[in-house]
Amino acid sequence: MPSNIQIILVAGATVLFLVILYLFFRHLFTRKLIHNSLDDSQSMLFKGELEQGILEFEDENDSIQEQELIILNLISMDKTNFDMNQVLTLLKNLDAKYVNGFFSHRDLSGEEVYRIASGISPGLLEIDTETHVLLMALDLYQANDPVKAFEIMLESASNISEKLHASICDSARAPLSMQMIEHLKSKAQAQEISRLDSMKNISKQ
């Protein structure tokens, strides 16, 4: 029958072997976890950090295109999760169309004006979504009328925030000030001027 010292030595050797085994194969385990995380992220609506993320506005004729986003956040005043039944009903009443986990608001011609998603990654808005932040994003490069599109999104944000008792915040999640509104409107105006200039140059060619 083995003595207590022999048992301790065997147990110690086993633990030491397991530690060495873990250290040797740790990089393989880490690489596997990273790979799985990257695979899962392919289905996410946002890329990178939330505030700096790119909402995937896709153009069938252009697989890679630049974006100039205006982002507003609607944040629950008491930081509790929104009632998703109320959120989904409200968005549908605003004629927003459900598309792959987010909502798309379109103009009379059917062109997309802005998108609404959960402000919590991965951004999906489903009946079982738990979020206290709604994110609204407008791509100035795709808007037919950037200034009008911004005004529409801001008006919708006001309506939604009133119904959900939420605060309207900027992309940094700071309360939206009049100064920031004017800044964003100027941004939209600059894009509109740039678009008109481009159209003039094309017509001259």
Domains of the chain (ranges plus CATH)?
A: 69-204 (3.30.1400.10)
Neighbours of 117 (CB within 10 A): 25
Nearest to 103 by CA among 63, 75, 128, 135: 135
Rounded CA separation 75/196 (Å): 35
CA dist 121 to 36, 52, 56, 131, Å? 17, 12, 14, 9
Is the pLDDT assigned to residue 60 strictly greater than 70? no
Report the predicted TM-score, pTM, of the whole model to 2 decimal places: 0.66
Terminal CA-to-CA distance of the chain, rounded, Å? 98
Average pLDDT over residues 101-120: 91
61-108 confidence digits (pLDDT tens): 444 457 889 999 999 999 999 999 999 999 999 889 999 889 999 988
pLDDT at 109: 84
Which percentage of the chain shows pLDDT scores above 90? Answer: 50
Residue 185 CB neighbours (<10 A) = 16
- Which two structure tokens, joined as six digits, stand for 144? 């037919």
Helix H segments across 42-145?
84-93
